[in-house]
Amino acid sequence: MNAGLMIIEILDILLTVVRWIIIIQAIMSWLIAFNVINRTSDFVTTLWMTLDRLTEPMYRPLRKIMPDFGALDLTPMVALIIVIILQSVILPRIAMAMIGL
């Protein structure tokens, strides 16, 4: 297998992991907002802080260009759409170009 194609596969796996991290953080934020889970729990706080540290570098540049919707934060949805586009459109085209199709 071509080394370039291996890199594409690794990027695909990493983008899948990023996709799940964004989804889990969004669900967790809803559960916290509706007081289903409580941030006073050490486990919940640790998980929330870990997810925040993983996603904030992705969200920060997006928040600079997105309009302010008040309490509604659409940044995770925009980040998820970007990841999906990268994974389903960009990476396959790069892979096809690498194999010469």
Helical segments of 1-101, H only: 3-33, 42-65, 75-85, 91-99
Residues 2-50: tens digit of each pLDDT = 888 899 999 999 999 999 999 999 999 999 999 999 989 999 999 999 9
Residues 54-91: tens digit of each pLDDT = 999 999 999 999 998 888 899 999 999 999 999 999 99
The pTM (predicted TM-score) of the whole model is: 0.89
For residue 1, the model assigns a pLDDT of 61
Its sign, for the CA torsion 11, 54, 51, 64, is: negative
For residue 76, the model assigns a pLDDT of 96
